């Protein structure tokens, strides 16, 4: 019989000094720079290969690779190299690839995950927390296990999700909190990892189609989508991006407009412009309450105040978005 037993995963030292860093996008740059500034020896940085970013055919390095080269650090795209540099620990931040078990058997790794595990395991924890209307979230410093975000948690920190938070603002705050948590625990000692407790939820990466506004959904759900950036609808056959909006629960039958009902499906068709004059933006019916659009971007043009857009578009109550 062949021996199918697996070697145990490597265990991290309590106070590692020599690191391998695995990361790719911009959010993974601040932790790398903070570890370097704190005096940790970064033996190798592993990141995803160069690729085409934006227009044109030329390739460019990932933000982490650019930062690593700026710091004078060795960079690799081959994950197998992590076992060859004599590191104490691997630090993973948004690397973008599952770490295979054979690598974890050789080198223990920790990960900064941007949620309070086990809620929102997966690729898009910040986006899913905003879409779900979560009131709080946080960062976990966790061990990298074979399963998706299933490892024990060394430490965590919580933060409130405010009504004004966008994806950009919330993610920036979480990166700052996670960077401080990472550097602090590596300095003071990791201690034991505590197994995750509770019912897990999963944060799948958003499909581009999810950014299209379905006006039959609730105003809260559409406002949450807008907070991610890139939400869009159509107006007269052209794409219209919505960059800022809020639930207009105090908007009622304004100006005697025949379309200015309470925004419910019983009064108007979702996507209908409810009222135009004397409001701060463009008020649109949804599946429940009205939604006030305040910053828009017509196709091929810059972002603009919604009132400026509606005046230029000669919008009238009863017009429909998304049709």
Give the Cα-Cα-Cα angle 121, 123, 129 (nearest 5 degrees). Answer: 65
pTM for the structure as a whole: 0.89
pLDDT at 57: 72
pLDDT at 4: 57
pLDDT at 7: 85
Using DSSP, state whether 48 is helix, strand or coil.
Answer: coil
pLDDT at 274: 87
Q: What share of the chain is helix, strand, coil (3-state, %, to 5)?
A: 25, 25, 50
pLDDT at 268: 84
CA–CA distance from 296 to each of 165, 166, 189, 291 (Å)? Answer: 18, 16, 48, 13
pLDDT at 52: 77
Tell me the CA end-to-end span of the chain in Å, nearest whole number: 65
Q: What is the mean pLDDT of each run of 10 residues along the chain (323 residues)?
A: 71 94 97 98 95 76 96 95 94 93 95 97 96 97 94 97 95 98 96 96 96 96 97 96 86 46 64 76 91 95 93 90 88
Cα separation, 223 vs 287, in Å, equals 12
């Amino acid at each position: 019989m062949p021996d199918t037993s697996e070697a145990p995963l490597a265990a991290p030292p309590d106070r590692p000094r020599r690191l391998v860093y695995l990361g790719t996008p911009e959010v993974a740059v601040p932790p790398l720079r903070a570890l370097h500034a704190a005096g940790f020896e970064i033996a190798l940085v592993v990141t995803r290969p160069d690729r085409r970013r934006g227009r044109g055919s030329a390739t460019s390095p990932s933000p982490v690779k650019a930062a690593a080269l700026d710091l004078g650090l060795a960079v690799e795209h081959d994950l197998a190299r992590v076992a060859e540099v004599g590191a104490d620990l691997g630090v993973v931040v948004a690397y973008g690839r599952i770490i295979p078990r054979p690598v974890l058997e050789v080198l223990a790794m920790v990960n900064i995950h941007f949620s309070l595990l086990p809620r929102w395991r997966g690729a898009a924890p910040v986006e899913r927390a905003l879409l779900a209307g979560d009131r709080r979230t946080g960062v976990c410093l966790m061990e990298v296990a074979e399963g998706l975000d299933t490892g024990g948690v060394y430490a965590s920190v919580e933060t409130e999700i405010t009504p004004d938070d966008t994806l950009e603002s919330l993610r920036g705050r979480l990166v700052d909190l996670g960077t401080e948590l990472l550097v602090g625990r590596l300095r003071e000692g990791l201690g034991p990892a505590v197994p995750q407790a509770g019912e897990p939820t999963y944060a799948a990466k958003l499909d581009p189609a999810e950014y299209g506004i379905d006006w039959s959904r609730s105003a809260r759900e559409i406002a949450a989508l807008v907070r991610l950036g890139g939400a869009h609808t159509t107006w007269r056959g052209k794409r219209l991006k919505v960059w800022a909006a809020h639930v207009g629960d105090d908007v009622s039958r304004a100006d005697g407009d025949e379309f200015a009902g309470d925004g419910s499906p019983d009064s108007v068709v979702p996507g209908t412009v409810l009222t135009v004059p004397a409001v701060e933006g463009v008020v649109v019916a949804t599946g429940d309450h009205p939604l006030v659009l305040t910053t828009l971007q017509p196709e091929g043009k810059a972002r603009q105040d919604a009132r400026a857009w509606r005046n230029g578009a000669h919008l009238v109550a009863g017009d429909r978005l998304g049709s």
